[in-house]
Amino acid sequence: AAIPARSRAYAAAWLKGADMKQICSRATLFRHAKVIRDVAGFDISSPRNVTDFLIRVRVVELEAAVAPPWHWTHKAA
């Protein structure tokens, strides 16, 4: 089942790591927490352990492989 539209924004904020006690009143928090807990199975009234991390991009350029000089000097047995 889908989370009702009125509670969806609170669920999304919690999933992003927002402190729900700063976003809404206590009564609103518990009202939406009950709906989300019953429908989706997670509790927005408990803190979410989310940390931001730096994304590092590394560009790797590929070139055609060249056989080393010793490859052409060996003799077949």
pLDDT value for 72: 75
Q: How far is CA 2 from CA 18, 37, 49, in A?
A: 21, 12, 24
Pick from 70, 67, 33, 27: nearest CA to 48: 33
Single pTM value for the model: 0.62
Please check the confidence at residue 76 and state whether its pLDDT lies above 70: no
d(CA 77, CA 69): 19
- CA dist., res. 28 & res. 7, Å (int): 10
Q: How far apart are CA 25 and CA 44, in angstroms?
A: 13
pLDDT of 36 reads 95
* Tens of pLDDT, residues 31-72: 999 999 999 999 999 988 877 788 999 999 999 998 888 887
